[in-house]
Chains A and B, each alone.
Chain A
Amino acid sequence: MIFFRTPSGARCGGRQAAPPAAPGHGHITPGCRHIRKILVFAVLVTAAGCSTYTSKMEISRDFYYAGEYEQAIGSLTALIKDASDNDVCLYLLERGKTRLAWGDYDSAIVDFQEAEKRVHEIEGTFSVSEFIKTSLVSAGKMEYQPESHEKILINAYLLLAYQMKGDFEGAKVERNRTVARLEQYTDALSQEDWEKLDVPFARYLAALLYEMEGLTDDARIEYDEVAKLRPEARPASENPNLTEVVVFAEMGRAPLKISREVKGYFNDTDGNLFGFFTLPGASEPMMVSGGAVSGLSMKNSGVVFSFAFPEYVRQPRIASSCRVVIDSLEAAPVKALDNIEETAMESFKKRIGMILLKSALRTYLRTLAQTKLDDKAGGLIDILGKFYSAVETADTRSWQTLPAEIGVFRMECPPGEHEVFLNYYDEGGVPAGCSRKVRFTVVEGKKEIIYFPGPS
């Protein structure tokens, strides 16, 4: 029998032990064994210092959600400087989004466009070296490929950046690109998947741009698509000549991926299996002692075992709703338009099977390196297997400066200068602060778009 115990002594369970391993695999001198054990210890210590994308982004993310965009940009620029080629594209998206929130539209466009170019260059292609690295080393050793909704949002935010900087021609081009992306990524989906994975914010922006250009038929088509998911967000009619203010308000933080890891160390001492492993969320490691394992040679320095996978975690929110205040009068609540948090979770659900499969493959190959291959190829393979097992973390990359939700508010207003801000409320309807104030001018017969990047 193999018994699982925590160091405090609680017995957790057991299973039937396999027959003892065949003897005769050991051919390493006691001195070498000693060095190996030191190395095993060293790699385990190294592993503790390995950071994930989510942890690297912590400072920038906190600055961003605190509205301290300048500091967030500085921190992201430093990350971009040190980033590997695999992560640069995602950091550019984070910085582009931050620059958009900060109001530096030209720089936001540069970042988004550079990221978009790379995303579409590698889309649908395959890299042999990446395949090998992700199979043996880590899931994060491949270039970041955004989820479909993230790809659509790149163009939606580019549209917004062009429009906010006053380049309507540029915004129209991005409108066309957004519509093309929506078609590319959502047309082939089943009705059920479409409802979960569509990006109504992008559709609404495209519709608004069509409306502003006077292309009311195109606007109607996109508004109707929005209405299938968010009927309350659809405007009553398409009127290009109506003098209006259109407010887009972001709320909450995008969910974050965290690394869940099962790690352990097993050794074969005099035919008996001994070791420990940690489970995600457990406060202390589980001890294993008893029987033996067949087919595995663990006589030398044991096996470092790891299985890591990402988990999406919803982030707590300060604000769950907001109301628009125009010229000191609280006008109305913002209508829910897009739940990006939900889209991200659904999109992840569709990919988790493949992620787990790849992680299992990595675990298998590393265990193999420390057992059967070690016997044939010598110590280096064993050390590499232990090292990569110890440093294994899940790929936690995702666009983290995205909001959890986006709402829309539009109101007819007289031409001239106005001031607008948002009052935020928590889940219980208790005031939870307000946004910065924005002064804007509406020209008769035109629409003015105001964008509020959200608080957490």
Chain B
Amino acid sequence: MKRILLLVLVCVLAVSGCGKKTRVIDLETDVAEDADFSSADLFTITEGMINSIKANGFYQLYAAQHGGEKPVMLLAESLINKTDEHIDTRLVLEKIRTQMMKENMAQFVDDQAFDMALEQLNMQATDLYDNAKAAKLGNFVGAKYILRGSISNLRKQDGRETINYMNVTLDIFEVETLLMKWTDEVEYKRASTKGKVRR
């Protein structure tokens, strides 16, 4: 009996080492794995920037001056990446845009849909479509403000330790006047050390 139990135990242990393991990571509580830019940083940056825009009062002031209208904004193509990492910087801007729209802070012009929209408008202007119901040319809304910024880092490598300082600076400027309506930065410095012994 003991031998059978032992055999079963060995089999269970052997099998438990096999197969793929999947686990869900909570994005809200996720922490960075090392000193490099990580998904956890995206949340820190978005949260920090949204809180800063809210505290600045720029969009509330705009609404008060324009009969409750929300400012029309546009995203810059990407953040200026001055780091030594290949980062999808557009993702940072898009996360902020998503949050601003969710919180009803602004309207956004989709800069990346221009060609697609133009193609549709041109097609709908032909006799293939019911002209009375077709989308009309000449109603594009121009952005009054642009959200843009840059991301920089300073990295120090000392043996197995990496220290990385990262700074993300964003601003909103008025297209007509070039006046900056809001700017803020999120910065952090993180150190990570590789294990001395590897497998």
A contact residues vs B (CB 8 Å cutoff)? 121-129, 169-170, 172-173, 176-177, 180, 184
Report if B83 contacts A (CB, 8 A).
yes
Beyond A121-B194, A124-B159, list 11 extra A-B contacts (CB 8 Å).
Answer: A122-B198, A125-B160, A125-B195, A125-B197, A125-B198, A127-B199, A170-B86, A173-B81, A176-B84, A180-B157, A184-B157
Picked from B78, B81, B197, the residue with its CB within 8 Å of the CB of A172 is B81
In the complex, what distance in Å separates the CA atom of A125 from the CA atom of B83?
26
Picked from B85, B196, B199, the residue with its CB within 8 Å of the CB of A173 is B85
Q: Can you name 15 A-B residue pairings with CB atoms under 8 Å? A: A121-B198, A122-B198, A123-B194, A124-B160, A124-B194, A124-B196, A125-B160, A125-B196, A125-B197, A127-B198, A128-B197, A172-B82, A173-B86, A180-B155, A184-B157
Query: Smallest distance from the beta carbon of A129 to chain B beta carbons, Å?
Result: 7
Q: Are A127 and B84 CB-contacts (below 8 A) given A180-B155, A180-B157?
A: no
By CB atoms of chain A within 10 A, which of B85, B160, B198 has the most? B198
Chain A positions within 8 Å of B84 at CB level: 173, 176-177, 180
Q: Which residues in chain B, 32-71, are within 8 Å of chain A measured between CB atoms?
A: none
In the complex, what distance in Å separates the CA atom of A93 from the CA atom of B199?
23
In the complex, what distance in Å separates the CA atom of A128 from the CA atom of B160?
17
By CB atoms of chain A within 10 A, which of B86, B155, B160 has the most? B86
Q: Are A129 and B199 in contact (CB under 8 A)?
A: yes
Q: What are the interface flags for B69-96 relative to A under an 8 Å C-beta threshold, 1 for contact and 0 otherwise?
A: 0000000001001111110000000000
Identity of the chain A residue whose Cβ is nearest the Cβ of B87 in the assembled complex: A173
Query: Smallest distance from the beta carbon of A181 to chain B beta carbons, Å?
Result: 9
By CB atoms of chain B within 10 A, which of A127, A129, A170, A176 has the most? A176
Identity of the chain B residue whose Cβ is nearest the Cβ of A179 in the assembled complex: B84
Q: Are B81 and A169 in contact (CB under 8 A)?
A: yes
Q: Which residues in chain B, 105-144, are within 8 Å of chain A measured between CB atoms?
A: none
In the complex, what distance in Å separates the CA atom of A172 from the CA atom of B160?
25
Q: Are A126 and B86 CB-contacts (below 8 A) given A169-B81, A180-B157, A184-B157?
A: no
Identity of the chain B residue whose Cβ is nearest the Cβ of A172 in the assembled complex: B81
Chain B positions within 8 Å of A126 at CB level: 196-198
Count chain B residues whose beta carbon lies closer than 8 angstroms to a beta carbon of A: 17
Chain A positions within 8 Å of B85 at CB level: 173
Q: Are A127 and B197 CB-contacts (below 8 A) given A169-B81, A173-B81?
A: yes
Identity of the chain A residue whose Cβ is nearest the Cβ of B195 in the assembled complex: A125
Query: Smallest distance from the beta carbon of A421 to chain B beta carbons, Å?
Result: 33
Chain B positions within 8 Å of A121 at CB level: 194, 198
Identity of the chain B residue whose Cβ is nearest the Cβ of A167 in the assembled complex: B86
Chain B positions within 8 Å of A124 at CB level: 159-160, 194, 196
Query: Smallest distance from the beta carbon of B79 to chain A beta carbons, Å?
Result: 10
In the complex, what distance in Å separates the CA atom of A123 from the CA atom of B157?
11
Complex A-B, nearest 10 residue pairs according to Cβ-Cβ distance, in ascending order: A176-B84, A125-B198, A124-B160, A177-B84, A184-B157, A127-B198, A173-B86, A180-B84, A126-B197, A124-B159
In the complex, what distance in Å separates the CA atom of A124 from the CA atom of B160?
6
In the complex, what distance in Å separates the CA atom of A435 from the CA atom of B194?
45
Chain B positions within 8 Å of A127 at CB level: 197-199
In the complex, what distance in Å separates the CA atom of A125 from the CA atom of B84?
23
In the complex, what distance in Å separates the CA atom of A170 from the CA atom of B84?
10
In the complex, what distance in Å separates the CA atom of A409 from the CA atom of B86?
30
Chain A positions within 8 Å of B86 at CB level: 170, 173
Chain A positions within 8 Å of B155 at CB level: 180
In the complex, what distance in Å separates the CA atom of A177 from the CA atom of B36?
13
Q: Are B81 and A125 in contact (CB under 8 A)?
A: no
Q: Are B157 and A176 in contact (CB under 8 A)?
A: no
Query: Smallest distance from the beta carbon of B13 to chain A beta carbons, Å?
Result: 22
In the complex, what distance in Å separates the CA atom of A175 from the CA atom of B157?
17
Identity of the chain A residue whose Cβ is nearest the Cβ of B86 in the assembled complex: A173
In the complex, what distance in Å separates the CA atom of A169 from the CA atom of B86?
9
Q: What are the interface flags for B174-199 relative to A under an 8 Å C-beta threshold, 1 for contact and 0 otherwise?
A: 00000000000000000000111111
In the complex, what distance in Å separates the CA atom of A426 from the CA atom of B123?
63
Query: Smallest distance from the beta carbon of A447 to chain B beta carbons, Å?
Result: 20
In the complex, what distance in Å separates the CA atom of A173 from the CA atom of B87?
9
Identity of the chain B residue whose Cβ is nearest the Cβ of A175 in the assembled complex: B84
In the complex, what distance in Å separates the CA atom of A129 from the CA atom of B82?
40
Q: Are A125 and B194 in contact (CB under 8 A)?
A: yes
Chain B positions within 8 Å of A184 at CB level: 157
Identity of the chain A residue whose Cβ is nearest the Cβ of B154 in the assembled complex: A180
In the complex, what distance in Å separates the CA atom of A172 from the CA atom of B89?
14
In the complex, what distance in Å separates the CA atom of A176 from the CA atom of B153?
10
Query: Smallest distance from the beta carbon of B70 to chain A beta carbons, Å?
Result: 31
Chain B positions within 8 Å of A123 at CB level: 160, 194
In the complex, what distance in Å separates the CA atom of A50 from the CA atom of B83?
46
In the complex, what distance in Å separates the CA atom of A176 from the CA atom of B198?
28
In the complex, what distance in Å separates the CA atom of A121 from the CA atom of B195?
10
Chain B positions within 8 Å of A180 at CB level: 84, 155, 157
Identity of the chain B residue whose Cβ is nearest the Cβ of A180 in the assembled complex: B84
Q: Are B197 and A173 in contact (CB under 8 A)?
A: no
In the complex, what distance in Å separates the CA atom of A172 from the CA atom of B87?
12
